[in-house]
Amino acid sequence: MTTTAPQMPGSVPLLKNLYAMRSAPLAALTRGFRTCGDVMKVEFPGVSGHMLFHPEHVRSLLVDHAKHISKDTPGFEKLRLLLGNGLLTSDGDFWLRQRRIAQPAFHRTRIFALGASMVDQTDKTVMEWTLASKVGEPVDVADAMMRLTLRIVCDTMLGIDVDADAADVGRAVTFLLHDINERIVRPWVLPPYVPTARNQRFVASGTRVQQVIQRAVTQKRADMNAPGADFLRMLMEARDEETGEGMTDQQLQDELATVFAAGHETTANLLAWTFAWLSRTPHVRRKLVAELDAVLGDRAVTAEDYPKLPYTRMVLAEALRISPPVWLLSRRLKQPLTVGKYTLPVNSMAFVSPYVTHRHPGFWRDPEGFDPERFAEGADKDRPTFAYFPFGGGPRKCIGDTFALVEATLVLATLARKFELELPIGQSPDPEPVITLRPRGGLPMHVRERVAPKPAPLS
Ligand code: HEM
């Protein structure tokens, strides 16, 4: 006799659970978990599957069952409209070959070498915020972080300066992500080749992003030995071991679009949420700034400081727990998977949600509280690894995790030491899950220059 997992509450005719997942996905998932427990059956039009919330089930899917799952899911199918067949969306031998080519560019030593550029780009935000604080204007922290991480990924990975068009390209990316999200939750949206007004904007925004990428490729081809953009050169110089052929222009475009999109939006959201949480927890902010003052004095932060800033890293780790930029991952099962007393059938879908598992009361005390001490050394010894997976796991784990953590540390260290950011009184940002978890409608905050601490008197 097979045992069937409890069904997600809130199914309606035709749309089934998609209705709840479309209108308020985080609330629907959280409610579902409370009602159903660790395994929950879900049904969408033409698709059925299970949500797995228990850390051991997450591990079973992403690690133990890794060879028997694919990204052949409606969500990734829609993402392919934007990213083609790049590292994030491809599968099988093709993905493995591309991952091997790209991997060396993400080595820790290479990332550390990009630290100076990350700090230089952050200095531009320092100038903008200094001005805003003088005139007393609030800043949209979500928008500022999006433009900053866009400049960083373009400078470090593509070797181009997007300062002049960062706002315009940022808007195109925001539209594309919202649009892809709509296509996932509204399967009846017409495909991009049908010339509706929405599709024309989709194509125009995609073209805007492609232009940026094309500029990087043309520039690099003109001078392969120009410094920087190792990642781009690595992709351009890669040769197939058997055929000796390089990547096609389309493949190059897809890989670059992937790193461009995956490499800035997520980190921008992490930073935006971090500033929001710091504004709500002044004791955490004080401790963070005390660490920065003690380690850095009045000099600028460098990548070499990364290991010396444990509390800064703990703050970011906690922001990744409570507001994980990637809140849901989907897979299709190529073979049945047994989790606990349930066997999930071949060809069905399986989902895991960092947002829900990071709040699992079996593994997190006071899960809605922002408390970086959860990540203090040794504090996680009783916690299963997959109680926390903001970067996914198994062979498909984020290739850019070190990049993101070093970048976020350098940006936070630079900005938190110079500015105090406050949410307007009574305001609490609402998380909007649009592929990534963003603050809905942006994140306006009051910005004040911090008074530099006086040097300690000599005793
Ligand atoms: C806080 C920042 C970030 C978060 C939370 C994040 C999260 C994730 C997650 C959860 C996955 C796995 C997706 C899945 O299994 O379906 C992933 C994959 C990926 N990420 Fe990130 N990411 C971040 C930053 C970055 C950066 C900075 C880059 C590049 C510069 C990047 C590039 C990629 C790529 C290429 C993949 C696909 C890897 C593969 O399948 O081989 N990410 N990311």
By C-alpha distance, which of 317, 437, 439, 346 is closest to 29?
Answer: 437
State both tokens at 39. 């395994």
CA of 408 to the centre of ligand 1 (A): 14
Q: b/e map of 339-351 (b: 16 or more CB within 10 Å)?
A: beebebeeebbbb
DSSP 434-449: ESEEEETT--EEEEEE
d(CA 51, CA 355): 12
Q: What is the phi/psi pair of residue 436, to 5°?
A: -110, 165
Instruction: Tell me the CA–centroid distance for residue 88 and ligand 1, in Å.
Output: 7
391 lines ligand 1 (CB under 6 A): yes
Q: Which residue's CA is minimally distant from atom 9 of ligand 1? A: 391
The CB of 99 under 6 Å from ligand 1? The reply is yes
Copy the structure tokens of residue 295.
């380690």
Quote the distance between the C-alpha of residue 366 and its chain's center.
24
Are 354 and 305 within 8 A, CB to CB? no
Q: Is the CB of 329 under 6 A from ligand 1?
A: yes
pLDDT (0 to 100) of residue 454: 57
In the reported structure, the alpha carbon of residue 95 is separated from the centroid of ligand 1 by a whole-number distance in angstroms of 14
Asked if residue 251 lies in contact with residue 418, where contact means CB atoms within 8 angstroms, the answer is no
Asked if 8 and 17 touch (Cβ cutoff 8 Å), the reply is yes
Which residue, 326, 337, 389, 339, is CA-closest to 360?
389
CA–CA gap between residue 224 and residue 207 (Å, rounded)? 25
Please provide residue 384's backbone torsions phi and psi, each rounded to the nearest 5 degrees: -65, 145
Mutate-to-test residue for ligand 1 from 316, 353, 398, 437, highest number of ligand atoms within 8 A of CB: 398
Residue 405 CB-half CA count within 13 A = 22
Domains, the chain, ordered by start = 18-449 (1.10.630.10)
Residue 151 burial (CB count, 10 A) = 24
Say yes or no: CB of residue 205 within 6 Å of ligand 1: no
Tell me if 437 sits within 8 A of 323, measured CB to CB. Answer: yes
pLDDT recorded at residue 1: 52
Q: What is the pLDDT of residue 459?
A: 47
Which ligand 1 atom sits closest to the C-alpha of 102? Answer: 35
Mutation to probe ligand 1, out of 118, 251, 266, 320 (largest number of atoms < 8 A from CB) = 266
Q: What is the Cα gyration radius of the chain? A: 22
Six-digit token string for 147: 């433009």
The Cα–Cα gap between 166 and 264 comes to 12
Rounded CA separation 288/409 (Å): 11
C-alpha 391/C-alpha 306 separation (Å) is: 19
* Ligand 1: centre distance to CA 234 (Å): 19
192 Cβ contact list (under 8 Å, min separation 6): 81, 199, 202, 203
Residue nearest to atom 30 of ligand 1 (CA): 263
Cβ–Cβ under 8 Å, residues 26 and 433 = yes
- Ligand 1 pocket residue status of 79, Cβ below 6 Å: no
Q: Where are the alpha helices (DSSP H) in 241-323?
A: 249-262, 265-280, 282-296, 310-322
Alpha-carbon distance 352 to 60, whole Å? Answer: 11
pLDDT of residue 243: 80
* Atom number, ligand 1, closest to the C-alpha of residue 393: 15
User: How many CB atoms neighbour CB 61 within 10 A?
Assistant: 25
What is the position in ligand 1's atom list of the atom closest to the CA of 99? 41
Contacts of 335 by beta carbon, 8 Å cutoff, 6+ apart: 65, 68, 346
Atom of ligand 1 nearest to the CA of 259: 29
* Torsion angles phi and psi, residue 45, rounded to 5: -55, 120
AA letter at 140:
D
- Is residue 399 lining ligand 1, measured as CB closer than 6 Å? yes
* Unique residue bearing structure tokens 């592929």: 435
Ligand 1 midpoint to CA 136 (Å): 36
Atom of ligand 1 nearest to the CA of 392: 10
Degrees (nearest 5) of the Cα angle 248, 249, 251? Answer: 65
Distance CA 263, CA 260 (A): 5
Mean pLDDT by 10 residues, the chain (459 residues): 83 80 90 96 90 98 98 92 94 92 89 95 97 95 94 90 82 87 80 90 92 89 80 84 82 92 93 98 97 96 97 98 97 97 96 98 97 96 96 97 97 97 93 91 95 59
